[in-house]
Structure 1
Amino acid sequence: MTVQDVRAFNRFYTGVIGALDYGRHLYAPYTLTESRVLYELAQVPHLDAVDLRTLLDLDAGYLSRILNKFEDAGLIERGPSQSDPRRRRVRLTARGREAAALLDERARETVGAMLGTVDPADRPRLAQAMRTIQQVLGEDGDRSEEVVLREPRPGDLGWIVQRNAALYAAEYGWNTDYEGLVARIVADFAEDHDPHLERVWIAERAGRPVGCVMCVRDDAPGTARLRLLLVEPEARGHGIGDRLVRAVIDFARGVGYRDLVLWTNDVLSGARRIYQRHGFVLVAEKPHRSFGKDLVGQDWRLDLHESGEWRVTQRANDE
Structure 2
Amino acid sequence: MKDKQHIIDDIRAFNRYYTGLLGLLNNHLLDSDYSLAEARILYEIHSLQPVSASQIMSNIVIDKGYLSRVLKQFEKSGLISKQVSSEDARITLVSLTATGQTLFNKLNASSEEQIATLLNKLTGKEQQQLVGHMQAIRTLLSD
What interval of TM-score do these two structures reach, taking the shorter chain for normalisation? Answer: 0.7 to 0.9
Does residue 76 in structure 1 map to residue 80 in structure 2?
A: yes
- Aligned partner of 1:121 among 125, 128, 134: 125
* 4+ residue runs over 2 A deviation: 20-25
Q: Is the 8 A contact 2:27 2:34 kept in 1?
A: no
Instruction: After TM superposition, give the deviation of residue 22 of structure 1 in Å.
Output: 7.5
State the alpha-carbon separation in 2 of the partners of residues 43 and 117 from structure 1. Answer: 30
* Structure with more of its chain in strand, by fraction: 1
Aligned with 1:43: secondary structure?
A: helix
Instruction: After TM superposition, give the deviation of residue 4 of structure 1 in Å.
Output: 2.3
Q: Is the 8 A contact 2:81 2:97 kept in 1?
A: yes
Structure 2 counterpart of 1:108: 112
Does residue 9 in structure 1 map to residue 3 in structure 2?
A: no
State the alpha-carbon separation in 2 of the partners of residues 97 and 47 from structure 1. Answer: 15
Instruction: After TM superposition, give the deviation of residue 112 of structure 1 in Å.
Output: 0.5
Following superposition of structure 1 onto structure 2, how do residues 26-175 of structure 1 map, counting pairs within 5 Å?
Answer: 26=30, 28-138=32-142, 140=143
Which AA in structure 2 matches 1:7? R
Instruction: After TM superposition, give the deviation of residue 61 of structure 1 in Å.
Output: 1.0
Instruction: After TM superposition, give the deviation of residue 21 of structure 1 in Å.
Output: 8.1
Identity within the alignment, %: 35
* Structure with more of its chain in helix, by fraction: 2
Which AA in structure 2 matches 1:61? G
Aligned with 2:62: secondary structure?
A: coil
State the alpha-carbon separation in 1 of the partners of residues 20 and 124 from structure 2. Answer: 22
Aligned with 1:26: secondary structure?
A: helix
The size of the alignment, in residue pairs, is 138
Identify the structure with bigger relative contact order (alpha carbons < 8 Å, sequence gap 6+). 2
Q: Is the 8 A contact 2:29 2:35 kept in 1?
A: no
Calculate the TM-score normalised by the size of structure 1: 0.41
State the alpha-carbon separation in 2 of the partners of residues 79 and 114 from structure 1. Answer: 40
